[in-house]
Structure 1
Amino acid sequence: MNLLDFSSNAFLAAFFLYCFAFLFYIIAISGKMWSKADPARHLKRWRVIAFATSTIGTLSQIVYFFTRWIGGGHIPTSNMYEFMSFLAMMIMVAFTVVYLIYKTPVLGVFAVPVAILIMAYASVFPQEVQPLVPALDSYWLKIHVTTAATGEAFFAVGFAAGVMYLLRTIDFKSKEKSAVRAQRWVEVTLLSVLIIVGFIASVFTFRAMGYESDFKQTIVTVDSQQQEHSKIEEVKYTLPPLVAPHQSETVKFQSFLGMDKPLFEAPSWLNGANAGRKLNTVIWSVISGLLLYGIIRLIVRKPLGAAIHPVMEGIDPEDLDEISYRAIAIGFPIFTLGALIFAMIWAHIAWSRFWGWDPKEVWALITWLYYSAYLHLRLSRGWTGTKSSWLAVIGFLVVMFTLVGVNLVIAGLHSYAGV
C-alpha cells in the first residue's frame, strides 16, 4: 500500500468515526428520555465516549492530511476535494477547542454533522492528486488557504450553536404571528441543509448506477474588438439531464424513467460550457432535498424544527448564545488574516495587484464585512440571543456561497479551485 492509498483509508476512517461520534452524542443527550435510573452518569459516560470517538476521527483526518501532503508533493488544499476536506478537518478542530471550553455535548449533535456533510460533499469531486497550476505554486498557498479555512471553520461552529439556540428558544406550539414566522424560517434553514444532503445523495446514487449522457455545445465569445468567436465544447452529465446545454446537440443520452431527451434547454444568459449542467445539478439537488424533506415529515408527522425541539430541553440558551459568539469572535481575526491580508499579498505576487474585483475576492470581502457587522451589532447595539443567532446562521450561508457558489458557478481567476 502506497502513501496515497493509506491517506485515502485514513480519510474514510475519519468519516465513519465522525458518524459514530454523532450517534454517540445523540445517545448522550437523549439519555434523560430512557435512562431514568441515573441520567447524570449516563450523560457523563456517553459524553466521554462521543468526544473520544470524534477526537480519534479528527486525528485520523490529520493523518490523512499530512500523508496526502507527503505523497502528493504539495499541501492538499489546491482543489475542491482537498479544500473541502481540509475545511471539514478544521471544523472538527474548532469544535474540539470549543467543546473543551464549554463541555456541551449537544454541540456535537449539530457541529459534527456539518463536518460529515462537507466531507461527503468533498467526495463528489475527483480525488486524484492533481499538479498545481502556476498560480498556486507558491508557499502562500499554505498560509492563505489554511488560515482562511480555519476562520471559516469557527464560523461553522458558530452556525451550529446559532441553529441550536433557535431550536431551543422558539416556541413551536405558539400560533402568534412572530412565532410562526420564526418557525418557518427555521424550517427553511433545515430544508437548505437537506438540499445539500439531497445533492450528495443524488450524485452518489447516479454515480453508482454508472449514469452518463454527453452533449456538444457551441460556445460563442466576444473579444475586445467585439468580434465573435465560436468553439465546440463537450459536456458530460452524470445526473439525468433535465436541462440541456444552450445551443447543443445530443451525443449520447441514457434514458431515465422513460425520459429520452432533456425537458428544456438552458437559457442563453447562462453562459459557459458547464452552465446547463450546473443548472441541472441545482434542479436535481432541490428535487432530492424536497423528496427527503417530505419523507422525514411523513415519518415524524410534524415540522422538523418541532421534532428536534424536545431534544434541546434543559440546555441553557445563554450558553448556546455565548458559544456561537465566542466561536465567531475567534474565527474573525483568523479569517481576516487569511482571506483578506494574506490573500492580497499573494494576489500582488501572482497577478501584480492587491485587488482586482475577482468574484472570489468580492465575496470574501462581503463575508468579512458581514461578520464585521455581526460583531458591531452584538457589541455596540446589544444584538444578543435570537438576533445574534440568526446573524450567525445567515453568515455561514454566505460563507458556503463564497466557497461553493463562487467556485462552481461564477467564472473567475479562482475557477481552478472547482476542478
Structure 2
Amino acid sequence: MVAFYLYCASFITFAIAVGGKRWSNRKPEDHANRWGKIGFGLAVVGWIAHLTFFFTRWYGGGHIPTSNMYEFMTFLGMAIMFAFIIVHLIYRNMLLGAFALPLVVIIVAYASVFPSEVQPLIPALNNVWLKIHVTTAATGEAFFAVGFAAALVQLIRVVDFTRTDKAGRRSQFWTEFSLFVIIVLVGFIVAVFAFRGAGYEASFTQEKVTIADDGTALSEVNKVEYSLPPLVAPYNSETVVFKPFLGMSKPLVEAPSWLNGVNAGRKLNTIIWSVIAGVILYGILRLIARKKLTAAIHPHLSDIDADDLEEISYRAIAIGFPIFTLGALIFAMIWAQIAWSRFWGWDPKEVWALITWLFYSAYLHLRLSRGWQGTRSAWLAVIGFLVVMFTLVGVNLVIAGLHSYAGA
C-alpha cells in the first residue's frame, strides 16, 4: 500500500511537471525539472517499498511470490517500475513518467482484485528454474511496457486533429481506441471493488455430465460464485444465491454450451461488466474533457520531440527482447522439461509467449532492416504490448491450461 500511494503521488507530480508548466510563473524548463525530480524521487522510494514487500513476502511465504495472479501482477508492476527507472536515468524524459506511472498503478490495482493469501507451491512449481523463468520473463515484459508507454505518447503527440480526411480520422480513432482499452481495464477494477465493497454475491450449482468409455453417464456438480451481478449464468446451472440488482431477479441469459469450463460463464460475465464499466468511465471522462481524450492530452505534448519518444520506445524494447527471450522461451523450456518431462507442449500460455516473441522479432526486424520508424514503429510497439497483456490476462483467466494462475 505504501508503494501504491507513492506511485500515485509520483504520477500526479509528473503530470504537474508536464501540464502545469503552462501556467507556472517559473520558466517551463525549471518547472518541469523541479517537479520531475520530485516525481522521480517518489517513484524510487515507492519502488524500494515495493521491493521490501517482495522480499518480506518471499521470506514469510517460503517461496518466491510469483505463484498466483496476485503475486505475479504485483511483481510485474515492480518490474515495470524498475524498467522505467533504468530508462529514465538514460534519457531523463519527464513525460515518460506521466504515462508509465499510471500503467504501474493500474497493474498494482488490478493485482489487488485477486486473493492475496500466500498459497503453497505444488511440487512441480517448487524449483529454482521457476524463479529464473518467471522473473526474467516478467522483466522483459516490463521493458516492453515502458516501450508501449513511450510509443503511445508518441502517437498522441503526432496525431493531427485538424485533419478530416479518411486517413486522418482513422489515425485519430485508433489512437483514442488505445486509450479506451486501458480505460476498460480500469473499469474492471472499479466494478470489482465497487461490488465487493457493496457486499454483492451470487452463486450457482452447475451440473456437468460426461459419458465414460463403457457408456455410463457420470455427473459432476460444481459451485460457481460471482462477485459481479450475473448478467450471464453458467451453462446448465441452478441458482443458489442471487441478490437483486437494478430490478434483476435472475440472470439475463445463460452461457452457451460451447463455453467449456466450470467458470466459463463467470469469466464471460466479467468481460461484459468490464466493457460496461469501461464505457461508463470513458463517457464520464469525455464529458469532463468535452472532446476526445487524446485531443485533450495533445496540446500538452507540443514541445516534445516525437523522434526522442520513438528512440526511447525502441531502446526499451531492444533491452527487453533478449531478457524476454531468455525468460519466456529458453529458461521456460528448461523448467518445462524438469516439471513435465517435455520442452514444449503447445499449452495456450506457451503458444502466446511464442506469438509475443515472434511479434517483437518482427518489430526489431522491420525497424532495423526495413526502416520502419515513426508512427509505424510506434503502432507496432503499442500492438505488441496489447499482445503481452492478452497473454497475461486473457490466457491466465479465460483460456484454461497448465499455466493458468490460481486465485482468479
TM-score for the superposition, normalised by structure 2: 0.98
Return 5+ residue gaps in structure 1 as ranges: 1-11
Matches within 5 A, 1:17-416: 17-221=6-210, 229-416=218-405
Give the Cα separation in 2 of the matches to 1:408 and 1:280.
12
Structure 1 residue 68: Cα displacement: 0.5
AA at the equivalent of 1:137? N
Distance 1:273-1:339 versus aligned 2 partners, 3 A rule: same
Distance 1:416-1:211 versus aligned 2 partners, 3 A rule: same
Structure 1 residue 96: Cα displacement: 0.3
Give the Cα separation in 1 of the matches to 2:34 and 2:396.
43
Describe the superposition over 1:342-377 as per-residue Cα deviations: whole angstroms up to 9, x where unpaired. Answer: 000010111111001011100000000000000000
Describe the superposition over 1:34-59 as per-residue Cα deviations: whole angstroms up to 9, x where unpaired. Answer: 01442222112111101000110011
Structure 1 residue 226: Cα displacement: 8.2
Structure 1 residue 258: Cα displacement: 1.3
Describe the superposition over 1:288-323 as per-residue Cα deviations: whole angstroms up to 9, x where unpaired. Answer: 000011111111110111111111110010000000
Describe the superposition over 1:4-61 as per-residue Cα deviations: whole angstroms up to 9, x where unpaired. Answer: xxxxxxxx00000000000000111123310144222211211110100011001110
Describe the superposition over 1:92-139 as per-residue Cα deviations: whole angstroms up to 9, x where unpaired. Answer: 000000000000011001101111100000000000100002221111
Structure 1 residue 227: Cα displacement: 6.7
Give the Cα separation in 2 of the matches to 1:305 and 1:415.
35
Structure 1 residue 221: Cα displacement: 4.1
Distance 1:102-1:257 versus aligned 2 partners, 3 A rule: same
Give the Cα separation in 1 of the matches to 2:71 and 2:165.
46
Give the Cα separation in 2 of the matches to 1:413 and 1:169.
42
AA at the equivalent of 2:314? Y
SS in 2 for 1:30: helix
Q: Is the 8 A contact 1:198 1:289 kept in 2?
A: yes
Q: Is the 8 A contact 1:220 1:231 kept in 2?
A: yes
TM-score for the superposition, normalised by structure 1: 0.95
Structure 1 residue 176: Cα displacement: 1.9
Give the Cα separation in 2 of the matches to 1:222 and 1:324.
53
Distance 1:65-1:283 versus aligned 2 partners, 3 A rule: same
4+ long deviations beyond 3 Å: 220-229, 416-419
SS in 1 for 2:17: helix
SS in 2 for 1:236: strand
SS in 2 for 1:107: helix
Over the aligned positions, Cα root-mean-square deviation in angstroms equals 1.3
Give the Cα separation in 2 of the matches to 1:187 and 1:162.
14
Give the Cα separation in 2 of the matches to 1:232 and 1:258.
29
Give the Cα separation in 1 of the matches to 2:24 and 2:14.
15
Give the Cα separation in 2 of the matches to 1:223 and 1:100.
62
Distance 1:229-1:32 versus aligned 2 partners, 3 A rule: same
AA at the equivalent of 1:347? A
Number of equivalent positions: 408
Q: Is the 8 A contact 1:219 1:272 kept in 2?
A: no
Q: Is the 8 A contact 1:212 1:239 kept in 2?
A: yes
